[in-house]
Structure 1
Amino acid sequence: MNEKVLPSNGPEIGAQRERLTGPGGPGASSSTSSAPGRHTPSPFWLDRLLEAGLVLSMALYYCAGNTHLGSGPFFHLPPLSTLPFLLIFMILCWYRPAIAVALLPLSLPFYLLQKTVVSHYSFSAAEISLWSCVAVVLIQALVRRQRWPYWLSWSELRARLGPLLWPILLFLGASAFSVVIAYSRTVALRAFREEVLDPLVYLLLALACLRTRQDLVRLLLALFATGFLIALLGIGQYFDMLAHGASLSDLPRINTVYGSANSVGLLFDYTLPLGLALILMPRMANGGFLASWRCRLLALALCLPLIFVLYLTRSGGAWAACVGAVIFLIACAIADRQLLLICGLGLVLLIGLGLLCFHSNISSYLLERHANAQGIGTLTKRIYLWESALHMIKDSPIVGYGLDNWLCHYSLNNVCHTTNLYHYWITTDPQTHRPTGLRSEPDLSHPHNIFLQIWVSIGIVGLLAFLAVLILFFWLLFRILAHLYRQAEADPWLVWGTLSIGGAMVAALIQGMVDSSVLEQDLAFCFWILILALLLIRVLAKTPWRSQSASVRVM
């Protein structure tokens, strides 16, 4: 007897969509009908006012009493006197938690400029925003109980996470265990909280609160606005340098609120592809505003500041990452597989010819880029860093050395001063006995490769879990794209969202080959936001985890 079994997420999708579109649900309009004859603001403007209030109240709370941001009286206020701003934020969050949760990416870049909350305890804007939202949501759930519209049962949560659940739990478990075996447990615990626990808490919170296409678009636009904000700060820094007499020929690299220009490029890996996807997405019959040239010109105008600042960072890894994202977006926009294959082969042939004809010039450029006084470039230094990381992995491949404990074992430095440990620092080449250029940089905080960094930090189990998350991400990404492209009238916003987060992940992984693109607080949030957005798109696009043929079994 043949029995048809529904896809594993079939009931979940139907139940969620009914809940969202029903009155009082999280996807319902933010304004209700009022008495006859009374003029009420439109839901659009109510949402914009609420967004502005949330951003302004958190910005005022974070800036007030934050000595890292200025020296005036406003920046030296006692922490308790700034609490009214936080209270306003939480009241607005109570009114629309979904908006507050979706706007959290705007707080990500400022994690180095932490605010003292109480006594000597300081936290970043992202942490303050996250746990304020968590507190409001928990209080709402306790007060409203069964009437709370954001409940997710365990079966619904499992259906939303699908096969990603177990790799995420393994990654979390390996990260938590790394705190136990770390030499500096205090440092490892802080890194665990900032780079693993907080982003995963945000993932769960957003899965509960973000249910509609409007929520998804708001989340992605907030992520892009984060990069746009840093671009504006970078342009301001550029003109400030020119005003102070810096010449264009020896202009320092733009770093804005970060300590490194490469960090700006890493943030742009996650944000710039969102705008590029609007420019490069395929034309659709029902595309509406997204298919118009006005939208593409607007997206280009918004991307230009990011591209300009990206150029000023002089980060070769970020440049290569954005080129890779553009190639990915163009490839996904080509519907004809035969044409895609021809273009791909042509690109490979073109790259091969370029390497064959100009390999000497290319290798010299890469090896001598950002060279120090001894003529040793950053790529050469990275090769020795990778060698140091491999030596560390060889000695502890299973559990690693603990989150953010690289410096304790890498070199003798002032950040983690360890005279009783063996250091894997390579200061002279063992073959040529020439200096590697690393002696002058004993405080390099990671091996400049995301896979080596994860392996060194949390061991082989954490690395395998991370690889599983990436494999499932791209498997689901292409599954959603295929599902959307098969539809006669696919939602253009979902197509844009899928393309943009795919391009962002490609860019992050490309620069992650030569830098740290995940295990930093802002980048960890960005990474899991891409996972979150893809999971939201899967539900909105009604894409099952398994195909219909896989859900039929013979009894």
Structure 2
Amino acid sequence: MIETGSNRFPMVLALLCTALLGGIGYAVWLGYAEQTIPGLAMVVAAIALSAISPAAGLAGVMMALPTMQHINPMPRGEFSLIELAIITSTFGIGLNLLLVSLRSGWRHLGDLFTPAQIVVPAIMLVGATAISLLNLADPSHMTESLREVRLVIIEPLIFFFTARLVLRRDHNRNWVSIVFILTGAAVAVYGVAQIVFDLGGVQAGDITRATALYSHPNNLAIYLERTLLFTLGVCIMRPRWVPMWILASIQAVGLLATFSRGALVGVVVGVGVVLLFIGAWRWIAGLAAAAVVIGLIGLLLFPDRLLDVGGGGTEPTRFAIWRSAIAMVKEHPVFGLGPDQFLYQYIRRFVEPMGWPERYTSHPHNIILDTWLRLGVLGLATLATLIFGVVWLIQRTTAQIRQDAWAIGAVAALFGGFIHSMVDNGFFLADLATISWFLIVIIITVPRAQTASVTAPAKIVDPPTTLSVGETWPTWQGTAAR
């Protein structure tokens, strides 16, 4: 066992293990894991690194988020990096917890079931999913439904419960949050480079919209919206953290390169909610003025994009999709269509002439309709219960959240993302589901000394190499790293 009085050690260890996990992920991306022996060696190494540093294991998931649409060949099938990261980190952290529990007891695992206001809807989500699978609109697409259940429901929930235990320690929480932000900035840089150097993207009239690692600019916009709001929340709470402002600026430019109107609205709303939450009333006027200025500049430079309604030009294409979705709800009001069934019903029977340009859309571009059609009325009840649970959690810990930079960022990202989900995808993608649960865990795990009213768990203990190590960062941590 290594013991040290320096609180730098867990961060250095997490940095080293995260870098190694990033190298493994890149090797998988390049196809080196397709053969049995190299593939198995990489999986075992990833599990071991996650056991050594649980923070690095979860950081690996954060790095893999924007690669969800890239499928990698493995000895036993094809997997995305986010799926591999969740699986290997879960096994590694599970091994860590087993070793700790054998020595110190099992009481610390009780946090898996708290707070009930979040755990109950998580369990309800599994139940709603199981029932929806028994009532698919088109059972011939059961394979597609099961795939979505695995990627969007089960694995993100596994991540949630794993993160619930690991992020109780402040240095773990700090590191995973930092990697989430850094990854967002790196993806934003790539997206901007696409535009500047003509490396790809999607053509929309006279403009090119950045896609980065995604196949569609809206997917990139939804991702960067979350990372940017998370970063801006930290900037608002710690305005002297110059590196954070730089990272936020990079992400903002990347988001602008997607030309996503919904994401921009989401960012404004998310920041506005945080300003109201912390009582920064004077900043509200500045935010409104900035939004107006950016909007006017956008109208002057890119009027065709900002005023484009799609379809035939008489109304937004979203309206036609929503009407079709409502028609589906009327036919399947109780159980919905089932997971990943929207596309197959929409293109066959429900697409309107006005919606023909987006006839291959796989979701109704509205979180309420999307949940209803995928999981039925029980899914709607689950969504309502989860929203209530998150609001309850925020209300119960308002004083503590106001002192925690990471939690403020999570509040901004959750609220801004929810507003955007009224006109686009909000949860039912592997990256969005995982990010949503991550943000919720960040709020749950505000510093222990301040949140005994929520839960008062024993602290998770890292593997033998990090036992008896201090909890905090030595530099630029603020209150978020107690």
Which category of TM-score, normalised to the shorter sequence, fits these structures? 0.7 to 0.9
C-alpha separation in 2, matches of 1:186 and 1:110: 22
2:135 — aligned with what? 181
Gaps of 5+ in 2: 456-482
The question of whether the paired residues in 2 share the 8 Å contact of 1:501 and 1:534 is answered with: yes
**Aligned ranges 1:474-493 → 2 under 5 Å:** 474-483=391-400, 492=403
User: Out of 12, 28, 53, which is 2:20 matched to?
Assistant: 53
- Asked if residue 258 in structure 1 is aligned to residue 175 in structure 2, the reply is no
> 2:231 corresponds to which letter in structure 1?
G
Call closer, same or farther: CA 1:470–1:60 in 2, change over 3 Å. same
SS of the residue aligned with 1:517?
A: coil
User: Is 1:167–1:466's contact at 8 Å kept on the other side of the alignment?
Assistant: yes
Q: Given that residues 51 and 95 in structure 2 are in contact (C-alpha distance below 8 angstroms), is that contact kept between their aligned partners in structure 1? A: no
Superposed CA deviations along residues 118-175 of structure 1, whole A, max 9, x for unmatched, are: 25x2111111111112223444555665216776445x433x2222222221122101
CA–CA distance in 2 between the matches of 1:370 and 1:540? 51
Q: Which residue of 1 aligns with 2:465?
A: none
> Which aligned pairs between 1:291-370 and structure 2 lie closer than 5 A?
293=240, 295=241, 297-334=242-279, 369-370=307-308
Cα displacement string for residues 166-197 of structure 1 (whole angstroms, at most 9, x for unaligned residues): 22211221012212212221111111110011
Structure 1 residues 430-469: aligned runs within 5 Å: 436=354, 438-469=355-386
CA–CA distance in structure 1, aligned partners of residues 363 and 271 of structure 2:
28
Match of 2:154 in 1: 197
One-letter code aligned to 1:529: F
Pick from 91, 102, 112 the counterpart of residue 157 of structure 1: 112
Q: Distance in 1 between matches of 2:112 and 2:60?
A: 22
- Cα-to-partner distance string for 1:63-106 (whole Å, 9 max, x where unaligned): 3337xxxxxxxxxx635434333332222222222431244211
Which of 369, 393, 401 aligns to 2:337? It is 401
Tell me if the contact between 2:337 and 2:376 (Cα under 8 Å) persists in the aligned partners. Answer: yes
Aligned to 1:417: none
Paired with 1:388 and 1:479, the residues of 2 have a C-alpha distance of 40
Q: TM-score, normalised by structure 2?
A: 0.82
> How far apart in 1 are the matches of 2:395 and 2:167?
22
CA distance in 2, matches of 1:249, 1:372: 11
For residues 411 and 248 of structure 1, the distance between their equivalents in structure 2, rounded to whole angstroms, comes to 23
Change (3 A) 1:498 1:208: closer
1:32 aligns with 2:8: no
State the AA in 1 paired with 2:112.
Answer: L
TM-score by length of 1: 0.72
Summarize deviations over 1:2-36 as a string: whole Å, max 9, x none. xxxxxxxxxxxxxxxxxxxxxx8xxxxxx4259xx
Q: 1:100 to 1:426 in 2, by over 3 A?
A: same
SS class of match (1:116): strand
Structure 1 residues 463 and 497, CA gap change in structure 2 (3 angstroms) = same
1:87/1:545 CA distance change after superposition, 3 Å: closer
Asked if 1:425 corresponds to 2:334, the answer is no
- The aligned counterpart of 1:523 is 432
Give 1:504 shift.
0.1
Backbone CA RMSD of aligned residues: 3.3
Q: Structure 1: which amino acid aligns with 2:386?
A: V
Match of 1:504 in 2: 413
In structure 2, the residue matched to 1:9 is: none
Structure 1 residue 85 corresponds to structure 2 residue 21: no
Equivalent residue in structure 2 for 1:385, among 321, 330, 352:
321
Q: Assess, with a 3 A threshold, how the Cα gap between structure 1 residues 468 and 309 changes in structure 2: closer, same or farther.
A: same
Q: Tell me the secondary structure at the aligned position of residue 32 of structure 2.
A: coil
Give the deviation of 1:263 after TM superposition.
0.7
Q: Equivalent residue for 2:121?
A: 167
Preserved CA contact (<8 Å) 1:481 1:498: no
**How far did 1:199 drift?**
0.5
The one-letter amino acid paired with 2:351 is: W
2:342 paired with 1:375: no
In the alignment, the residues of structure 2 paired with residue 467 and residue 57 of structure 1 have an alpha-carbon distance, to the nearest angstrom, of: 39
Q: Cα offset for 1:248?
A: 12
1:471, distance to aligned residue in structure 2 (A): 2.1
- Which amino acid is 1:83 matched to? L
SS at match of 1:537: coil
Residues matched between the structures, number = 441
Question: Does residue 136 in structure 1 map to residue 92 in structure 2?
Answer: yes
Equivalent position amino acid for 1:96 in 2: S
- Looking at structure 2, the residues matched to 506 and 497 of structure 1 have their Cα atoms a distance apart, in angstroms, of 14
Contact 1:274 1:501 in 2 (8 A): yes
The answer on 1:207 being equivalent to 2:164 is yes
Deviations 1:463-497 (A, max 9, x none): 12112211221221133123465xxxxxx5xx212
CA–CA distance in structure 2, aligned partners of residues 459 and 542 of structure 1 = 35
Partners of 2:222 and 2:417 within 8 A in 1:
yes
Contact kept in structure 1, 2:221 and 2:263, CA below 8 Å:
yes
Alignment check: 8 A CA contact 1:234 1:309 kept: yes
Q: Residue 156 of structure 2 contacts residue 434 of structure 2 at CA under 8 Å; is this kept in 1?
A: yes
Change (3 A) 1:213 1:383: same
| Secondary structure of 1:403's aligned partner | coil
Q: Is the 8 A contact 1:179 1:402 kept in 2?
A: yes
- d(CA) in 2 for partners of 1:42, 1:251: 48
Partner secondary structure for residue 74 of structure 2:
strand
Q: Is the 8 A contact 2:311 2:317 kept in 1?
A: no
Secondary structure at 1:375's aligned position in 2? coil
2:270·2:417 contact (CA, 8 Å) conserved in 1? no
Q: 1:48 to 1:368 in 2, by over 3 A?
A: closer
**Secondary structure in structure 1 of the residue aligned to 2:78:** strand
Residue from 266, 270, 273 that aligns with 2:226: 270
CA distance in 2, matches of 1:318, 1:209: 30
Aligned mates of 1:392, 1:232 — CA distance in 2 = 40
Structure 1 residues 64-75: aligned runs within 5 Å: 64-65=31-32
Tell me what 1:550 maps to.
Answer: none
Q: CA deviation at 1:115?
A: 1.0
**Which has more radius of gyration?**
1
Instruction: Identify the residue that residue 10 of structure 1 maps to in structure 2.
Output: none
Check 1:32–1:143 CA distance in 2 against 1; reply closer, same or farther (3 A cut).
Answer: closer
